[in-house]
Amino acid sequence: MTHSSPSAADTEPKRPKALLPLDLVRGFLIGSAELVPGVSGGTIALVTGVYDQLIDSAAHVVSAAKTLVAGPDRVTGAIAELRRTDWFLVIPVLLGMATAVFTIAGVMESFVAGNPELSRGLFFGLVAASIAVPLRMLPARTTRQPALLGVLAFIAAAALAFWMTSLAGGADVENPPLITVFFVASIAICALVIPGVSGSFFLLAVGLYSTTLRAVDSRDFGYIGIFLLGAILGLAVFVNILRYFLHNHRWWTLTVMAGLMFGSLRALWPWQSSAEAGADGEEHGAGALLAPGDPVLGPILLAVLGAAVVVILIVVEAKFAASKAQSVGADSSAA
């Protein structure tokens, strides 16, 4: 069995080079989101309009690695898969994410820990407005997608996310075994690609949030290397599963994603009681939900600001998509 030669559509860049600076910014925003407990990098990828492309490209890279190891036609098959990867998107996004992680990890932890009401208010507004994104992407509903079952799936996903975020108060683990770091990373990375599920909150739940950020901030490359290996394993296993559901059960998948995002707002409610103190003496994770109290105005204004940013991004992305569709239609008519 031989692989057919890749078509021009597989080999040519799928993204204009002029978008490279914008994709660097997108990557920076995704990486920054992953540093914040309760905010999912997948949510930011959705809002900025690159979610599907990133999942597809990641799946091609995983397929290339599998083909290289198991065949058939290991080298030519792997090259064919790599040519289908949108590198003009993937590389700048990865560079942006790495820049965010290595430059603002310490600052982000200090901001979240030192200004909990303000930081949660900002991200509450951002995530709340972002729920509109997967809902806008829903394909036309068919008889196989009853509205009532869709509502129940949304509620179930929201309840799951609400429950998961309420667990994220585990005490810090100062010197975790590296094998633990490896397997925790393989699970946490799955949250990176699921909107509404925060990898940082999973790290909080198992006591490795502050430990991981300190390792990044202090350039502990041994810890970082093991974490990256675990993340690569988790991504390789999970990304094709997610891609399958996005392509074959898109309506249900996006409905569940919206529910997860809604439930994750529990973690970002600005007014919460004190959470459990970690080994560093600082409070991390989710406390009990409280009625609005001092400060009130700051979190509300920042929530409005966060929501406004998302709305602007949605409008810009919609106009860009409409312009692109119009140009494609014009080209087809001319042809």
| Cβ neighbours of residue 82 closer than 8 Å, sequence gap 6 or more | 60, 61, 64
> Is residue 283 scored above 60 in pLDDT?
no
The pLDDT-based confidence of 12 (bands split at 50, 70, 90) is: very low
Q: Give the DSSP per-residue string, 234-292.
A: HHHHHHHHHHHHHHHSHHHHHHHHHHHHHHGGGGG-S-B----B-TTSSB-S---B---
Q: What share of the chain in percent tops pLDDT 70?
A: 81
User: Which is higher by pLDDT, 85 or 321?
Assistant: 85
The pLDDT-based confidence of 6 (bands split at 50, 70, 90) is: very low
**Largest interatomic CA distance in the chain:** 68
- The span from the CA of 22 to the CA of 24, in Å, is 5
> Is residue 280 scored above 60 in pLDDT?
no
Mean pLDDT of the chain, nearest integer: 80
For residue 321, the model assigns a pLDDT of 66
- The span from the CA of 134 to the CA of 265, in Å, is 16
Q: Give the DSSP per-residue string, 101-164.
A: HHHHHHHHHHHHHH-HHHHHHHHHHHHHHHTHHHHHTPPPP-TTS-HHHHHHHHHHHHHHHHHH
For residue 163, the model assigns a pLDDT of 83
Which tokens in the block code for residue 141?
Answer: 């509903």
> Is residue 210 scored above 80 in pLDDT?
no
Nearest CA among 183, 171, 190, 192 for reference residue 100: 192
For residue 214, the model assigns a pLDDT of 83
Radius of gyration (C-alpha) of the chain in whole angstroms: 21
| Cβ neighbours of residue 41 closer than 8 Å, sequence gap 6 or more | 30, 31, 33, 34, 97, 192, 193, 199
For residue 106, the model assigns a pLDDT of 76
| Structure confidence by residue, pLDDT tens digits, 246-277 | 889 989 998 998 898 898 888 788 888 876 55
Nearest CA among 335, 58, 49, 39 for reference residue 201: 39
For residue 13, the model assigns a pLDDT of 47
For the chain, the domains span 13-118+126-287+294-315
CA distances from 235 to 26, 191, 192, 328 (A): 20, 10, 9, 33
For residue 171, the model assigns a pLDDT of 56
User: What is this structure's pTM?
Assistant: 0.69
> Is residue 152 scored above 80 in pLDDT?
yes
**121-125, 210-214, 283-287: least confidently modelled range:** 283-287
Cis peptide before 295 (omega within 30 of 0): yes
Nearest CA among 203, 248, 256, 243 for reference residue 59: 243
| Structure confidence by residue, pLDDT tens digits, 233-242 | 888 888 888 8
Phi, psi of 277 (to 5 degrees): -80, 135
